[in-house]
Amino acid sequence: MPFFKVKKQFHKLQWFSGKKGKDGFGPQDHVMSILPKGNIPIVKYVNKGKATWHQYSHTTPEHLLRLLKWNHALFEILVPSRLFKVYFDIDNKLGLLSRADIKERILKQFPGANINICGYEVENKHSYHITLSNYTLRFEDCWKLQAFCMANKDLGFDATVYSTNCQMKCINQSKPLKHAGVYMEGSTELSKHLIQYDFDKECIDINTLTFPDIVKAKANAKGPKSQRLDFVADIPVLKPVKRDPDFFFYDATPLEILNNIPHDDNENKINHNVIWRIMVWAQKQGISFDDFMAWNKQKNKSDEPVNARIARYWGYWSDLDNSPYNVATSFIEAIYSKFSPSALKSKALRV
């Protein structure tokens, strides 16, 4: 196995640590693959001398809340197939802007939001972790929060914290030898400061709101890739090597529709967020995991080993069994409109 079990248990939890194996499968991948329904995956930062490393585990929400009363350097690992509260990470390195300014921007976009803030304020730096416990979203809609953050980056909103399995610092926690994010405003219940647990009884889906457009990064622009909009508009014009001239989208089975989407690392490169949505659609259409991966493994030039890729997607797939996530066939149609618009036309209407 590419990971090892920590000999000494911490608060009755079994922790996993170590480097990834040759197959790319690491301790976090292992925890995500064995994650029980309802448990929260967590990572603990461990420090000894100048060395810092990670230990991974999972626990019940009730147990985690007991641990969060003290600083154990714990971070919540976000599960993409679960519901999210709207959340923000804000770093104002100059410490010149007030929380009032930040809340004003949030309330302008999210009316009536129940804002919960933890963080720290020291000389020349303010850092905040914010959750809106009455606003929800799903992973495929995180680009909307990215858009909001990029439009408000003057206040320190970070647009890079919406990636798959992102690790977010819990309340009262910190990295070793750093400032802890203590309670500041909102609910005093620790659970309200977690991102994927204890939602308000009445919540608003962010799809009911309008968000600013993202200004796409130029090809040579600096900054993390996650700042780019992951949606159909960002998919390059795909050029399949082969195309069945008799294929008609509206007469095809879901599996035929999936298998006709080109997917490799050359001109047919599709980013992870789009692949993830295709996976959700495929699962809801009754396509098997093996058939989905037969299509997904076309991306054979990835640096990620095949076994690690299969294990990672099996974790995503399994979590969808009891998930309310759904991706409409109209999303798949939009992909086809990019690389094979003629497939959406009956044969008689094709030029």
Q: Given pLDDT bands bounded at 50, 70 and 90, which one contains residue 44?
A: very high
Half-sphere exposure of residue 5: CA atoms within 13 angstroms, side-chain side? 5
Distance CA 250, CA 62 (A): 48
What value does the mean pLDDT take over residues 180-201?
A: 97
Q: What letter represents residue 181's amino acid?
A: G
pLDDT tens, residue by residue, 227-237: 334 445 555 55
pLDDT, one tens digit per residue, over 260-307 is 887 765 555 677 777 888 998 999 899 999 999 999 876 555 566 777
- Cα 235 vs. chain centroid, distance in angstroms? 19
Q: Over the stretch 207-223, which tens digit does the pLDDT of each residue have?
A: 888 876 654 433 344 44
pLDDT tens-digit profile of 88-116? 999 987 767 789 999 999 999 999 999 99
Residues 6 or more apart in contact with residue 80 via CB below 8 angstroms: 139, 164, 165, 276, 316, 319
Contacts of 95 (CB under 8 A, 6+ apart): 121, 122, 123, 124, 125, 126
Q: Parallel, antiparallel, or unpaired for β 84-92 and 51-59?
A: unpaired
Q: So what's the pLDDT on residue 131?
A: 99
* Average pLDDT estimate for 224-245: 51
* Cα 341 from Cα 239, distance rounded (Å): 12
